[in-house]
Amino acid sequence: MPRDYDSADIWFTDEGDFDVAGDGDVRDTSEDPLRSILQEIRTRLKSRLNDWLTDPQIGAGLHRFVGEPNTRALAEDIEEQIKNSLTIDGLIAVSDIRIITLPLDMTTLLFRVLINAASIAIGRGISADLVYDSLTNGIVVL
């Protein structure tokens, strides 16, 4: 049975800034109970190891793959890095994560990270898409 990943946190924009609610207060994720965990997933996918002083092991560290040829082995290595960064401290249960990988061109891979979640937001799971370009080390989390 999937874990419940509902929680409330400060709502961050895609650029990492605090969001402000209509009443002028800092917006929180209580209106979207899965937003908090999705924000954490996106943050970890964009981070390098040792980016966070309190948790140096949580970044995906995808920068280490820059310049690597777009092969199935590369895709498998990146999938493993993604899984490790999301499960190393129990943020996501290993049994709740699935990654689908699609090559987009000679240097670019799309990773769809799917999280099976028990949630009060019935009928809604969690997914984050990551586009990785091994030539430029471009990382875009959608």
DSSP-assigned letters across all residues of 56-84? TT-S--GGGGTT----HHHHHHHHHHHHH
Does residue 11 have a pLDDT over 60? Answer: yes
Residue with the two structure tokens 């419940």: 4
34 within domain boundaries: yes
Domain containing residue 95: CATH number: 3.10.450.40
13 within domain boundaries: no
Q: Which residues pair with 131 in a beta bridge?
A: 110, 140
CA distance 36 to 74: 29
87 within domain boundaries: yes
Containing structural domain, residue 80: 29-141
CA distance 6 to 21: 20
Highest mean pLDDT among 2-6, 77-81, 116-120: 77-81
- pLDDT category, 137, cuts 50, 70, 90? low
CA distance 48 to 51: 6
Does residue 34 have a pLDDT over 60? Answer: yes
Residue with the two structure tokens 């009928």: 123
* Three-class secondary structure of residue 127 per DSSP: strand
Kindly state the average pLDDT of the residues 13-42. 82
Q: How many CB atoms within 10 Å of residue 115?
A: 23
pLDDT of residue 32: 80
24 within domain boundaries: no
Residue with more model confidence, 86 or 58: 86
How many independent structural domains does the chain possess?
A: 1
pLDDT of residue 120: 58
6 within domain boundaries: no
Let me know: does 133 contact 107? Beta carbons within 8 Å: yes
2 within domain boundaries: no
pLDDT digits (tens, 9 = 90+) for 62-101: 888 888 888 899 999 999 999 999 999 999 999 999 999 9
10 within domain boundaries: no
